[in-house]
């Protein structure tokens, strides 16, 4: 096996507590990769020899971004809906049905080509781990198809049959389908299950419906995630705590009792709160307050939610910049949330950090420090570092 020495790292983010500050930063660093794993990390002055060498010439290196929430398998375009929103319309979730119709009408190869393009776009901006949900099929055959396609690009696949009740379908019948035959067909292709728990949004699911979906999914062996508290205060965050979900996502509208419940649960591995500030950007909504959660001891992740309705962006650097600009995060908190936070939201300990033994998923910046991710918003500084 060929070992590879990376030199010239002006700032290396490791998340290793032996090194400095909240990100475990090593200045003037080097690292050795062997067999796809981090084999050595330390000061450049004491770097060992290796078979090959790459000099990044004074750039910052950090763990590849972990985008723990996306809806990347879909067809169609909703730019018109976005433009209407920017002219004053509100987001209601009603456009999901349009994406479902376009997705059902697309061939496997059309969906595969679009998915591959989005994955490549994310990777080009430094994302090395992606979660991908279904949720634009909404019948047994199409949900299973979307998960099969998602499975071709990631192991982090999520069954989201409980995205919305398809228009014209009886709620009770649809819930029975999602928790019965659809779950049975999809579970073999999924690691996780998710539900859009948003009472007040007629096509989404209330607390008891979401609870039924999640308990059925847990019985089928799936890990749990929740879309909650996106559009208004609601039961999603506390439901995520109750069922032992890995993550509650959006969490834009949390009350004090939600934060207390999340903080109590955080002491024994409770849900990560995954904030999706691209959604607030693209729906022109008030941003959540990450600092309030972090101060209470809750682990926060940042993810894109890339989807054709509420945020059509694959850019984790943008999410870091928004986290700092609008969610009251420090640079260090936002970088952690986009790497280690995402890994924790997916219950992965092999990604999101660069301690010895981690997967050698590296993001390099055309800049000397990670602060530039927020300091130079919109500038394409980040890319995945490929070692050959
Ligand atoms: O995470 N909120 C629910 N689902 C997606 C949006 C889906 C859409 O509008 O197509 C989300 O924001
Ligand atoms: Fe989502």
Could you give the domains of the chain? 3-64+352-384 (2.30.40.10), 65-345 (3.20.20.140)
> Cβ(281)–Cβ(315) under 8 Å?
no
Give residue 236's pLDDT band: very low, low, confident or very high (50, 70, 90): very high
> How much is the pLDDT for 87?
97
- The answer to whether 236 touches 210, Cβ cutoff 8 Å, is yes
Average of per-residue pLDDT across 122-127: 98
More confident residue, 354 or 20: 354
108-117: per-residue pLDDT in tens? 999 999 999 9
Q: How far is the CA of 248 from the centre of ligand 2 (A)?
A: 10
Question: pLDDT (tens digit, 9 = 90+) per residue, 279-314?
Answer: 999 999 999 999 999 999 999 999 999 999 999 999
pLDDT at 1 exceeding the cut of 80: no
Give every CB contact of residue 29 below 8 A, 6+ residues apart in sequence: 9, 11, 12, 41, 42, 43, 44, 61
The rounded Å distance from CA 87 to ligand 2 centre is: 23
In this prediction, residue 25 has a pLDDT band, given cuts at 50, 70 and 90, of very high
Q: How confident is the model at residue 388 (pLDDT cuts 50, 70, 90)?
A: confident
Residue 154: per-residue pLDDT: 98
Residues with CB under 6 A from ligand 1: 93, 95-96, 99, 196, 227, 230, 279, 305, 307-310
Q: Dump pLDDT digits (tens) for 313-352.
A: 999 999 999 999 999 999 999 999 999 999 999 999 999 9
Residue 172 has pLDDT above 80, yes or no: yes
Can you tell me the mean pLDDT for 66-76? 98
Measured CA to CA, the distance from residue 147 to residue 160 in angstroms comes to 9
Q: Report which protein residue has its CA nearest ligand 1's atom 1.
A: 305
Tell me how crowded residue 188 is: count the other CB atoms within 10 A of its CB.
12
Tell me the DSSP string of 306-326: BBTTTB----HHHHHHHHHHH
Total-model pTM = 0.98
**pLDDT value of position 376:** 98
pLDDT at 314: 98
* Centre of ligand 1 from the C-alpha of residue 290, in Å: 21
**Section 83-104 average pLDDT:** 96
């Amino acid at each position: 096996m060929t070992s590879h020495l990376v030199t010239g790292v002006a700032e290396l983010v490791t998340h290793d507590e032996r090194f400095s500050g909240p990100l475990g930063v090593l200045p003037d660093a080097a690292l050795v990769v062997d067999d796809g794993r981090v084999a050595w990390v330390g000061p450049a002055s004491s770097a060992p020899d290796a078979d090959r060498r790459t000099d990044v010439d004074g750039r910052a290196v950090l763990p590849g971004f972990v985008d723990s929430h996306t809806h990347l398998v879909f067809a169609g375009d909703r730019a018109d809906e976005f433009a209407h929103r920017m002219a004053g319309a509100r987001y209601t979730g009603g456009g999901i049905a349009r994406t479902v119709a376009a997705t059902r009408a697309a061939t496997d190869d059309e969906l595969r080509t679009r998915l591959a393009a989005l994955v490549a776009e994310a990777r080009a901006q430094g994302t090395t781990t992606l979660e991908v949900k279904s949720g634009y099929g909404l019948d047994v055959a199409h949900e299973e198809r979307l998960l099969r396609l998602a499975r071709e690009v990631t192991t982090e696949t999520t069954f989201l049959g409980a995205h919305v009740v398809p228009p014209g379908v009886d709620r009770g019948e649809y819930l029975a389908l999602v928790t019965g035959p659809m779950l049975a067909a999809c579970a073999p292709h999924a690691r996780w299950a998710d539900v859009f728990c948003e009472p007040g949004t007629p096509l989404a699911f209330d607390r008891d419906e979401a609870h039924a979906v999640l308990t059925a999914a847990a019985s089928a062996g799936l890990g749990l995630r929740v879309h909650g508290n996106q559009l208004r205060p609601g039961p999603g965050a506390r439901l995520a705590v109750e069922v032992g979900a890995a993550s509650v996502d959006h969490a834009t509208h949390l009350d004090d009792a939600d934060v207390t419940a999340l903080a109590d649960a955080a002491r024994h591995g409770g849900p990560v709160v995954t904030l999706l500030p691209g959604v607030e950007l693209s729906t022109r909504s008030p941003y959540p307050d990450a600092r309030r959660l972090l101060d209470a001891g809750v682990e926060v992740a940042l993810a894109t939610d890339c989807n054709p309705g509420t945020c059509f962006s694959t850019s984790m650097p943008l999410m870091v910049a928004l986290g700092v600009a609008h969610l009251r995060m420090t640079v260090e908190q936002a970088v952690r949330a986009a790497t280690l936070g995402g890994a924790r939201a997916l219950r992965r300990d092999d990604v999101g950090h660069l301690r010895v033994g981690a997967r050698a998923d590296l993001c390099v910046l055309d800049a000397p420090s990670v602060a530039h991710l927020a300091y130079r918003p919109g500038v394409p500084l980040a890319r995945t570092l490929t070692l050959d």
